[in-house]
Copies of this chain bind each other. A is one copy, B any other.
């Protein structure tokens, strides 16, 4: 019973709009100052400070102090996973409630819908398109509980400089497993987990995409636009959300 109480406590913590806004803002994986988070949540600094202290105490956030600045960030991947889980359920529910007519899910910001950071991996139309392209090209095998890379998939990632078997020669099977994350705006799976993180790192390193200068929005470089089109059949001029 005491566990139910702490479970409810954690949920209630996320259940406040101001705190939820802070957590979602931090889902890009960065660490932000208390003032910045106050602005993101639309509350005064004193109110934000109280919220942040509570989330820190509860272990949802971690704190790094540099001089007079206090940088807050998501404390652990499991917390990010929880927020993702909430986004998915919330998305499904709101989509289910108003079923008819093509609902516009996710944020209204066009660039944010296209490509954004989801804690440590890529999300949005582009990420969903990458996953769909890999599936279509036989690089990714989709199961009910996740995905698995095929030989072609391993080779493709290797061509991007991602060597998943490094350091563990005998673990070729599990290195192929990839966690899938139901895309917040697209409602279709994209690559998350270890491989999602590695893929995002490679895309940045190869300059297909550029990480967010502020916010969560990831931008596609001209080079990346061509590469994505050639490798995954992504035509970024039109809206991917119409397909399927």
Taking Cβ atoms with an 8 Å cutoff, the residues of A that contact B are 1, 3-17, 19-21, 24, 58-60, 76, 78-79, 81-83, 85-94, 96-97, 106-107, 141-148, 150, 171, 173-179, 182, 184, 192-195
Contact = CB atoms under 8 A, between A and B. Distances in A.
13 contacts: A3-B106, A4-B24, A7-B86, A8-B16, A10-B15, A12-B12, A15-B15, A60-B93, A143-B175, A145-B177, A145-B178, A145-B194, A148-B176
Main secondary structure of the interface of A (DSSP, over half): helix
Q: Which 5 A-B pairs have the closest CB atoms?
A: A12-B15, A143-B174, A145-B193, A8-B20, A145-B179
Report the copy number of this chain in the oligomer.
2
Contact of A87 (B7, B90, B106, B173): B7
A15 B11 contact: yes
Given A11-B11, A92-B78, A96-B59, A145 B143 contact: no
Contact of A93 (B10, B141, B146, B147): B10
Contacts of A6: 90, 93-94
